[in-house]
Amino acid sequence: MIKLKADLHLHSVLSPCGDLLMTPAEIIKKAKKEKIDVLALTDHNSAENVEVLQYYAEQYNLKIIPAMEAETKEEIHILCYFPDMKSLLNWQEIIYNNLSDQENDEDFFGAQIKCGYDDEYQSKIKYLLAASVNLSLEKVVEKVKELGGIAVPSHLDRKHSIISQLGFIPPELSFITVEISKNTEPKSFLRQFPNFNKFQFMQNSDSHYLKEIKAYQNLIVEKFSFSEFKKAVEKKDGRKIELIKT
Amino acid sequence: MTVKELVDLFNLEIVAGPNLEKEIDGVYIGDLLSNVMARAEKDNLWLTVQGHQNVVAVALLVELSAVILVEDFEYEENSVQRACQKGVNLLKTKKKSYDLACKFCESEI
C-alpha cells in the first residue's frame, strides 16, 4: 500500500464564495507546494473548472478526482466524486436541470467565474450556484451512485450538514465515510456525537483562499485510481483514509 | 384541543392521520431538525417546510402532536408511509408559518 496526501474539498473562483485568486493553475501550484498528491475541486453545484484543473494537474504531475459539492433540497452539502469527466458532466447536467432560475447577485454573493486553458477568466455563470437544488438527499446519493460515483456528506460539525439540517443521518443511506471540518478533530467531534464512532472520517481544507490549501489526510491505497479511492472511502480490502495529526 | 379539532377549525389537509385524537399543547416553528430535536416540547404542533422522512423520526422522538408542512411544500413519499406506521400525524397547508401561527394565537393555542 502507498500513502497519498489528499485534499478533496476546495472551491475555485467558480464558487461565489471562492476568492478571485483561486484559478485552476494557481490552485495546482499551491497544492504542489503543499506536496499534495491527489486533489478534488468541489465547487458549489457546478464543475465548470474541473477540466482546466485537470489540464494543469497533468503538467504538475498531480492526480485529480472529478468532483462537485452539491446542495440538496434540504440545504445539505454533499461531496460527489466521479470516476471520469464524462460522468461528472452528466451529473452537472442533472444538477443544472434542478437549479432554481434565480440569477446570481454578484455584489452580494460574489462572482462565479469559469476559467479558460490559459487560466484567465473566461465567462460567468448566470444562475446562482450557491443555493439548494430541487433534489432530496436520497435522490442525490442515488443518482451519484447510478453514475458510478460516490457521495460523502460534508462537514458534519458545521451548518449546511446532514446533522444541522436533518438532526441525524437517515440509516438507509449507509455512508461509511463522512467529512468533518478542519476546525475540529475526531476526538472532540465524537465527544459531541458519540454514535458516529462507526464512521470513517475524511478531513479537507474546504479552501476558499490559496493560503488555506493543505492536506489533512492520506489515502491508503495500492495505487492511484478511482476504484482504489472508492475502496478507501468504503474502507474495503485494507484501503482506507488516515487523518494526518496536525 | 385535539388534532382532529384543529384540522377542522383551521381547514388543514391531512396527509397522514393515524392519531388524530392526540391533544395539542403549544407550537414550535423551525426547519433545522437538529434545533427542533433540542427545543420542541412534548405535544407541540410543529410548523416547518421540511418534508424529509427524518421529520417523522423527530416528531416521534419529541412526541409532537402533529407536523404541519406550510407554504404548500410536499412530504417525501417515505415520510408518509413511515408516519402511518409509527402513528405520527402529518398535516399541510398553503399558508405561511407566520400567518398560521397568528391564527393559532387568536384561538389561544
Q: Supply A109's cell numbers.
A: 454573493
What are A141-160's pLDDT values in tens digits? 999 999 999 999 999 999 99
Q: How many domains does chain B have?
A: 1
Range of the structural domain that residue B57 is part of: 3-106
Q: Which residues of B touch A (CB under 8 A)?
A: 32-34, 36-37, 50, 52-54, 57-58, 76
Q: Which amino acid does the sequence have at A241? A: I
Which domains does chain A show, CATH number per domain? Answer: 2-243 (3.20.20.140)
Q: pTM score, two decimals?
A: 0.92
Question: In angstroms, rounded to a whole number, what is the distance separating the alpha carbons of residues A229 and A150?
Answer: 10
Low-confidence spans in chain B with pLDDT less than 50: none
Tell me the average pLDDT of chain A.
Answer: 96
What are B4-15's pLDDT values in tens digits? 999 999 999 999
Contact yes or no for B57 and A168 at CB 8 A: yes
Low-confidence spans in chain A with pLDDT less than 50: none
Contact yes or no for A165 and B58 at CB 8 A: no
pLDDT attached to residue B74: 95
Contact yes or no for B52 and A164 at CB 8 A: no
User: Whose CA is closest to B109, among B46, B30, B25?
Assistant: B25
What are residue A123's phi and psi, to 5 degrees?
Answer: -155, 170
Which helix or strand (DSSP H or E) is residue A241 part of?
strand A240-243
* Chain A residues with beta carbon closer than 8 angstroms to that of B53: 170
This complex has an ipTM of 0.82
What are A182-233's pLDDT values in tens digits? 999 999 999 999 999 999 999 999 999 999 999 999 999 999 999 999 999 9
pLDDT attached to residue A171: 86
Distance from CA of B77 to the nearest CA of A (A): 11
pLDDT attached to residue A245: 84
CATH of residue B43: 3.40.1390.20
